[in-house]
Chain A
């Protein structure tokens, strides 16, 4: 059914932004320095803002009483369609930075194409979000270069971060069933087209950061279809507790 696919695709975009936004918000009050604490909290807010736009649209298309809040707070892990990368634990600053860099670069090329979507609402959200994402890419790539080409300690932490995260990057370009359908109906982005740009950007930044990237390796997948790591359950427990314990709580 046409609507179901569009809803799934929109939820996938929303879930990606919400979950990494939530992860970033965990840094609030714990950043390595005050200025970066504020920077990553700003990025968290940007991403949760994007998630809201997508959820509101998904709620409109769904009808039957769905709202942005029911979609964010009352779905279970199996219904979430985010990629596994965004639910990984923050680890240290190096892992958080690298995760953000991989993801923001992905979002950047994705939103750039999504602006041409046949679905006017998706195109409009992408256009609005692209400015924010452009800054996220700039901010995170600066840090990848700083840490990679920094001290022995920072370089080792970046190398460890690459080891931890790399196998979660393949899923970004592995189209789920709703993406394939969406591509046929020309509202979803063809991921094989943006993969080349992503690899190019990641490679050039990592060369500047003097960080070697792994050769082709086995890649994790499943998140887009609702098969998640154990981490997502803990995130949802934290994030959804209030709405589930006190339904329709408001302040």
Chain B
């Protein structure tokens, strides 16, 4: 890039819905001055190859994340509790996306 902006634009996380009925999925992040520019930038960066029909943009500072060092206490306890999986039911074929 020819010149670096003096003050960096804030970072945004971009979520794209690939087709009707599916969830928005996180696809990456980008810089933009405001929400409107974030959506337009996302259109240009992430939907060039027909990837989506809807865009969400969330400023990255509003994403709160769990701490990787807590992983053992948060997730390992679920490891031996197979009875929590609803695998004892048969699903009808008509139910999609489960």
Contact with A along B37-66 (1 / 0, CB 8 A): 100110111001000000000000000000
Q: Is B40 within 8 A of A42, CB to CB?
A: no
Q: Could you tell me the distance in whole angstroms from the C-beta of B34 to the nearest C-beta in chain A?
A: 9
A146 to B32, CA, bound (A): 12
When distances are taken between beta carbons in the complex, the residues of chain A under 8 Å from B44 are 35, 38-39, 42
Number of interface residues of B (CB under 8 A): 17
When distances are taken between beta carbons in the complex, the residues of chain B under 8 Å from A146 are 33, 37
A42 to B42, CA, bound (A): 13
Q: Is A38 within 8 A of B45, CB to CB?
A: yes
**Residues of B bordering A, CB below 8 Å:** 1-3, 5, 9, 30-33, 36-37, 40-41, 43-45, 48
When distances are taken between beta carbons in the complex, the residues of chain A under 8 Å from B40 are 39, 138-139, 142
Contact with B along A23-42 (1 / 0, CB 8 A): 00000001111111111001
Number of interface residues of A (CB under 8 A): 16
A32 to B4, CA, bound (A): 7
Q: Is B1 within 8 A of A30, CB to CB?
A: yes
Further contacts, 19 of them, CB under 8 A, given A37-B1, A135-B43? A30-B1, A30-B2, A31-B1, A32-B1, A32-B3, A32-B5, A33-B5, A33-B9, A33-B31, A34-B30, A35-B32, A35-B41, A38-B44, A38-B48, A39-B40, A39-B41, A42-B44, A42-B48, A146-B37
